Structure 1
Amino acid sequence: MAQSTLLSTDVVAPRDRAPQWAEWISRHFCGLQSDLYGDVDFDGQIVSSQAGDVILTRLEANRHRVLRTASMVRTSDVAYLKIVAPWRGSAVVQQQGRQACAQDGAWVIYDTTGTYEIGNPERSDHLIVMVPKEGILERGQRFDGVMARRLGANGISRVALETMRNTYLELPNMSGAAAAGAGELIKQLVRLSLMELSGQDTALTQREALRDRIRGYVQQHLRDPQLSADAIARALHCSRRHLYNAFSGEGESIAAYIQRLRLQACIRDLQQAGPHARPITDIALSWGFGNPSHFSRVFRDHTGMSPSEFRSS
């Protein structure tokens, strides 16, 4: 019978839950930074099992973010391809200049040997699968172009999604040999899914290419207060309709995407304390918020606190 590991904040004092969660996330997932969007109250649990060398984890938690930096990549021992497949909620994965949103019925894959960021903007219930890279890639084979891509809607990637979910749910009833065999099946299905996706040349991949160009333009011009869907369409020489079609299915509009990135940048700057900390209004203006009152309002909607309360906390 496969053994499970349970980590739950239910046994941790409320004031200690955030730092304990950060420590668990870093240790269990081989080095990650995490934060709670500025929230004070938090609860979550991690239940993990193994199918051979494939690690399957069910993570239920309040909203939170995780970040893997270049220094964390260098200190990691094992190279994994990592999959997030939500049962409930959503996960926004950013890697290699791309972004993909996973929701129920889909999964997103990313590479732990590169930097990445994952936002879980609402309470979520995710299946997270870690597959050793050497079990997926053959010699000389690369799947860089399909990292941070959404899969699972149909075809072999849908079969892979159902297999990962069912394997996790049935692991307590499997022998060690059966669990190892299920892990090998997961690796084979993931590899086939990536091969199928990397070989496509369809309208879908064309939309994904435009989506990547949109994200790249937004990243480069995030500080420009005139950044908008119209400005992006003009710069990329496409119509607003093509722009919106390329971004459909991401779980947020282009305007919401721009605002979220700006808020994340402001949050990072507000976390810099000390005598050289910049005024809140300067930070907001530097990231494209032209109206301090509007900034305060959307900041409170995002974090539950005003900018000054967030900085104090």
Structure 2
Amino acid sequence: MNTSVQKYQFSDIASWQSAIADQFVPLEMQVPGGIGRFYAKGGIARFHHSVVSQMTVTPHRLRREKSAVRQATVSHLKVLWPIQGRCRLHYGGKEHVLQPRQWTVYETGSEYAIEVDETATFLALMLLDTEGAGLLPALRRLRGRPLAVTGAASVALATLDSLLKEGASLDRRSEEFIQDTIIALLDCALRQDSAVPAPSPTRPDRLRAIQQFIRENLADPELSPEKISNIYGMSRRSLYTMFLDAGNTPAAFLLSTRLVAAVSMFENHSCRNRSVTDIAFECGFANMSHFSRVFRQRFGMSPGEWRRRHLL
């Protein structure tokens, strides 16, 4: 898989709003009165199930409206680093000023607004909340708050910056490794700032092993929490508790992983001649009506429609 960096440049707010809705989430935008010509430029890359972008933008306002939150079928975690310039983030009823050498993380499943009062450059990362579920315990205390770009957060920022600058060709396993590494670094940074204790050293390793087992055996339509617990010699309650500590459940993780795998195949040129049914079966869906129903519930459209819109 080629983790190519797509360059972009926009000279009007409407085009920028449309691009953000397509690559990230729908937002309402406007340019303050008295501001000259608007422009936005930068680069964007997708790796595994994440999107990262570095952007330089002139002053503008953006808002995640309540209506967009209600209509969303999936939630994401959004990480924002100002590289140059600053912005004001309104989240959870509070206003925070975000400066260079600071970062923050918040959920797109809530209303928020960002005000950029000067030309500024940002690095933004978005990942599915199911992928970043391990961040949730620490995130509950710190979402929206400015945090210092030091230690693990600094390494994560440097890694993403390098990914955008290099535009390296990465295979699927490498992309997954980079995403997991970024999440682990952010988890470490959040725990340091929130004083949330790290889980016991053995449980995260076992959870990651189980999650990897699920990813490698998605084609098995009989893969279930009960089967997984039997394979790993543990009770279903213990398996459930392990996933719940990371902000998820075994069944939800299994379903989400299958859906995301199907989406990845829909967007992959090498799979363009394969039918929707064939891809669904490879991702472990034995019943097409069930697949179509849960896909629409998650992404707001049918599998076929998603494929037509996103296959480049």
Q: TM-score, normalised by structure 2?
A: 0.56
Q: Is the 8 A contact 2:4 2:169 kept in 1?
A: no
Whole-Å Cα distance in 2 between the matches of residues 139 and 182 of structure 1? 16
Q: Secondary structure at the match of 2:157?
A: helix
Q: Find 1:129's aligned residue among 107, 111, 125.
A: 125
1:66 partnered with 2:72: no
Whole-Å Cα distance in 2 between the matches of residues 105 and 139 of structure 1? 21
1:117 Cα deviation after fit: 0.7
1:164 partnered with 2:160: yes
Give the aligned CA root-mean-square deviation in angstroms. Answer: 2.5
Paired letter, 2:8: L
The residue correspondences of 1:12-91 to structure 2 (distance < 5 A) are 17-38=12-33, 39-91=35-87
Whole-Å Cα distance in 1 between the matches of residues 79 and 136 of structure 2? 22
Shift of the 75–5 alpha-carbon distance from structure 1 to 2, 3 Å rule, reads farther
Q: Secondary structure at the match of 1:172?
A: coil
1:77 Cα deviation after fit: 2.8
Shift of the 108–50 alpha-carbon distance from structure 1 to 2, 3 Å rule, reads same
Whole-Å Cα distance in 2 between the matches of residues 20 and 117 of structure 1? 19
The residue correspondences of 1:254-265 to structure 2 (distance < 5 A) are none
The residue correspondences of 1:2-17 to structure 2 (distance < 5 A) are 2-9=3-10, 17=12
Q: Is the 8 A contact 1:131 1:187 kept in 2?
A: no
Q: Secondary structure at the match of 1:20?
A: helix
Whole-Å Cα distance in 2 between the matches of residues 121 and 84 of structure 1? 16
Paired letter, 1:26: A
My pick for the range that moved more, 90-99 or 57-66, is 90-99
Whole-Å Cα distance in 2 between the matches of residues 179 and 37 of structure 1? 39
1:52 Cα deviation after fit: 1.1
Whole-Å Cα distance in 1 between the matches of residues 43 and 51 of structure 2? 11
Q: Is the 8 A contact 1:105 1:152 kept in 2?
A: yes
The residue correspondences of 1:1-313 to structure 2 (distance < 5 A) are 1-9=2-10, 17-38=12-33, 39-138=35-134, 141=137, 143-199=139-195
Q: Secondary structure at the match of 2:133?
A: coil
Which blocks of at least 5 consecutive residues in structure 2 are unaligned? 198-312
Paired letter, 1:7: Y
Which blocks of at least 5 consecutive residues in structure 1 are unaligned? 11-16, 202-313
Of all paired residues, the percent bearing the same amino acid is: 20
Whole-Å Cα distance in 2 between the matches of residues 61 and 196 of structure 1? 31
Paired letter, 1:20: S
Count how many residue pairs are aligned between Structure 1 and Structure 2.
195
Q: Secondary structure at the match of 1:77?
A: coil
Q: Is the 8 A contact 1:100 1:108 kept in 2?
A: no
1:25 Cα deviation after fit: 2.6
Whole-Å Cα distance in 2 between the matches of residues 158 and 99 of structure 1? 24
Q: Is the 8 A contact 2:105 2:139 kept in 1?
A: no
Q: Is the 8 A contact 1:64 1:121 kept in 2?
A: yes
Shift of the 65–163 alpha-carbon distance from structure 1 to 2, 3 Å rule, reads same
1:111 Cα deviation after fit: 1.0
Q: Secondary structure at the match of 2:146?
A: strand
Whole-Å Cα distance in 2 between the matches of residues 4 and 99 of structure 1? 33
C-alpha distance after superposition, 1:53-85 (max 9, x if no partner): 121011112111110011111122331111111
